[in-house]
Amino acid sequence: MNRMDVEELLRRHAVDGARLDPAPPETGDRLTDDTEVRARFRADAWRPCCVCGIDYRTSRVIDFPGYGPRWVDLCRDHSLAVAKPALPTMPTTVEGAFEDIREIAAKLGLTMRPVSQEEWLEMGRRARQRRDQ
């Protein structure tokens, strides 16, 4: 998924501002560390991503033209598509992050491989057994 700003993401997917929940008045893009956003997360166990409809992971307030401040709830993938990297050299996609991890693993002489759900659960079970001994 290509990186873009939130407004472009909403335009590309023709998100209707009238369908978004009204948000507390304030101009600009506010991310998940705001008090109102934390309260929104606690208020509802589930909300759909306003772009694709799957579970949301982040919320922000955007001044939506013609509608004022609106909540923009985004799933993981759409949230990553509009995330601003903390450092200029940080990867901006999941694929980029995995490429960095692969490079570091290779330098350390490690190999990466997929782990099935069953194997992951078994590793957790073994770790709990070791802890409880």
pLDDT of amino acid 14 = 94
pLDDT of amino acid 34 = 62
- Report how far apart, in Å, the C-alpha atoms of 12 and of each of 4, 77, 78, 118 are: 10, 15, 12, 38
pLDDT of amino acid 37 = 67
Residues (pLDDT < 70) of the chain are 1-2, 26-37, 41-45, 85-88, 92
- Cα torsion through 19, 30, 7, 25, rounded to 10: 50
DSSP state of 17: G
**pTM as predicted:** 0.56
For residue 81, the surrounding DSSP H or E stretch is helix 76-81
pLDDT of amino acid 32 = 45
Q: Are 93 and 82 in contact (CB under 8 A)?
A: no
